[in-house]
Amino acid sequence: MKKYQLGEFEEIVILTIGILNNEAYSVSIKDEIESRLSRTVSMGALHTALKRLEDKGYLKSYAGESSDERAGRPKRYFEITAMGKKAMLHAKETREELWRAIPKTIFQINLAG
């Protein structure tokens, strides 16, 4: 199902948009990722991922209201499309399948050695 594959950062971005729901715009997405994952995110990398996800049809964006604090420019909000939701579920199911396939013994810690 290559059609629904997400890169690692794309997956983080789309999951974060899901968390933020109707408040997902670039700065809020960046802040949420950095807060939850203790990971620095550059705006350039984020904008590249958002564009890629939108080009794949996984996200759609729309302009919010303009504000004085942004010199009259509106925030660009992102929401997950039906195809994006399928991609998210595919990523979740794939990861769960891989985790289930790992032998339980791999996580046993040898305290004697």
**Global pTM exceeds 0.75:** yes
The residue ranges of every structural domain in the chain are 2-99
CATH 1.10.10.10 fits 2-99, yes or no: yes
What is the model's pLDDT at position 113? 53
**8-25 pLDDT tens trace:** 999 999 999 999 999 999
Residue 1 has pLDDT above 70, yes or no: no
Q: 37-59 burial, b if ≥16 CB within 10 A, otherwise e?
A: eeeebeeeebeebbebbeebebb
Q: Which tens digits make up the pLDDT trace of 93-113?
A: 999 999 999 998 888 877 665
In this structure, of 3-17, 52-66, 68-82, 95-109, the range with the lowest mean pLDDT score is 68-82
